A = this chain, B = another copy of it.
Amino acid sequence: MFNKTNETKVLRDPVHGYIHVKYQVIWDCINAKEFQRLHRIHQLGGDFQIYHTAEHSRFSHSLGVYEITRRMCEEVDAISATLSEYEKIQVLCAALLHDLGHGPFSHFFETLHKKHHEQMTCDLILDPETEIHQALIKEDESLPQNIVLILTHKHSKPLMYQMISSQLDADRMDYLLRDAYETGTSYGNFDLERILRTLRVKNDSLCVKLSGMHSVEDYIMARYHMYWQVYLHPDAKSYEIMIQQFFKRYSKIRNIDVFEPLMNGSLSNKEFYLMDEHRMFYGFQEALNSEDVILKDFANRILNRHLFEWIEDPTKQQIMEIKKKLEQQDFNLDYYYYEVVSHSKAYLPYTENDENQIIWMLNSKNELISLSSSSQIVKALLKMKNQTNKCIYFPKEII
């Protein structure tokens, strides 16, 4: 009924062995230009500046999320039995396309672009002009709308969005494994096979058999470690600050063509398609010729990894000294001094504040209980005290 490819197509993938594609609509989406564009957006933004092999793109990650979702659909009996073939196709498409709206240097880009990447993803899927939209409607007219319902958590079957966006979802599972593989750290590893084997559905919700509890604990710890060792690394933050300060300055100068569309608020879908990292870096190269010393300096810092140095939890004395040195050496503090305050609680790998964000376990009496009430480790984690950390950033040259 639904169009299949001639034979199952396979794409070699170091994390999953192979990505398996048997629906024509999935194959067509992969070949759509908006999806191909994801090859031109790093998965981890500037983290390749810290972990030099973290050079993988959102293209690979998107295929990985699709593959885990496919295995959920085919190998988890409870899911396979709950969803119709059409619903499976919807959720597979949603998995594949969930990151379509990401710009370069992801979260920073959103502040410039003033549109969340989730919204952008939906816009691209719904726009009749995009190749993605055309690939989808070739299979079914209502597919774009249904995918958007999943991506916006409005679908009538919560299971369908839980599979790709919840506390235990294909998205996080792929990126932890993939980022660990690509950075060469072991921290992100957990037992995907066992989690898949213990997934169940109860009251239309995704849950995990109690015998899979240790795998889930391990997954939570993988998140914890990846946050602290990779995603929140101060040098990664430092690189992000370089880009942020560059555009803070640029907004006063406005002399580089490729950046201009970004300055006008919202991009059209066509402009967005072009706005990849190649274009951004070409822009930074152009800025090397700028007459503005500050803009030129930040372009050089971005291109050649002259990151700001940082001090965690500085004393007042230290802050004063740093500022003094900056002034003595004629650094403009608006650009060359930066403070970040973070709350450890905010980076907890898991919380149960919100009903929708609980990982549910299925106990031997076939009842749903929260992860924290079955795992002593997780319960302990939730009681962690909040800590507020300040970190200051400044040019290395002054010391």
A interface residues, Cβ below 8 angstroms from B = 10-15, 17-18, 31, 33, 36-37, 39-40, 48, 51-53, 55-57, 59-60, 63, 181-187, 189-191, 193, 197, 214, 217-218, 221, 224-225, 228-229, 258, 274, 276-279, 281-282, 285, 300, 303-305, 344, 376-377, 379-381, 383-385, 387
By the criterion CB–CB under 8 Å, are B186 and A189 in contact? yes
Our pick among B37, B303, B377 for the contact of A381 (Cβ within 8 Å) is B377
By the criterion CB–CB under 8 Å, are A183 and B14 in contact? yes
Contacting residues, chain B, for A182 (C-beta < 8 A): 14
10 new A-B contacts, CB < 8 A, other than A186-B218, A187-B218, are A10-B197, A36-B305, A39-B48, A52-B60, A53-B56, A186-B189, A187-B191, A187-B214, A279-B282, A344-B376
By the criterion CB–CB under 8 Å, are A53 and B221 in contact? no
- Chain B nearest CB, measured from A307 CB (Å): 10
The residue among A39, A189, A282, A379 with the most chain B CB atoms within 10 A of its own CB is A282
Our pick among B52, B56, B191, B377 for the contact of A63 (Cβ within 8 Å) is B52
Known: A278-B277, A380-B380, A381-B377. A303 touches B13 (CB 8 A): no
* CB-based nearest B residue for A51: B12
* CB-based nearest B residue for A213: B228
Contacting residues, chain B, for A279 (C-beta < 8 A): 278, 282, 285
Contacting residues, chain B, for A193 (C-beta < 8 A): 17-18
Distance, CA A187 to CA B193, complexed state (A): 13
Distance, CA A384 to CA B225, complexed state (A): 20
- Chain B nearest CB, measured from A208 CB (Å): 15
Contacting residues, chain B, for A274 (C-beta < 8 A): 285
Distance, CA A338 to CA B379, complexed state (A): 32
Contacting residues, chain B, for A191 (C-beta < 8 A): 185-187
- Chain B nearest CB, measured from A24 CB (Å): 15
Distance, CA A205 to CA B323, complexed state (A): 39
Distance, CA A51 to CA B13, complexed state (A): 8
- Chain B nearest CB, measured from A66 CB (Å): 12
> Please, could you name 19 A-B residue pairs with CB atoms under 8 Å apart, sorted by A?
A11-B52, A12-B183, A12-B184, A14-B181, A14-B183, A18-B197, A31-B304, A31-B305, A36-B304, A48-B57, A187-B214, A187-B218, A214-B229, A218-B221, A221-B221, A224-B377, A258-B282, A279-B285, A377-B380
* CB-based nearest B residue for A193: B17
* CB-based nearest B residue for A7: B77
Distance, CA A52 to CA B10, complexed state (A): 11
Contacting residues, chain B, for A57 (C-beta < 8 A): 48, 55
Contacting residues, chain B, for A13 (C-beta < 8 A): 52-53, 184
Contacting residues, chain B, for A181 (C-beta < 8 A): 14
Known: A258-B282, A282-B278. A55 touches B55 (CB 8 A): yes
Distance, CA A12 to CA B377, complexed state (A): 24
Contacting residues, chain B, for A11 (C-beta < 8 A): 52
Known: A278-B281, A279-B282. A14 touches B184 (CB 8 A): yes
By the criterion CB–CB under 8 Å, are A225 and B214 in contact? yes
Our pick among B56, B228, B281 for the contact of A40 (Cβ within 8 Å) is B281
* CB-based nearest B residue for A16: B184
- Chain B nearest CB, measured from A345 CB (Å): 10
Distance, CA A285 to CA B14, complexed state (A): 30
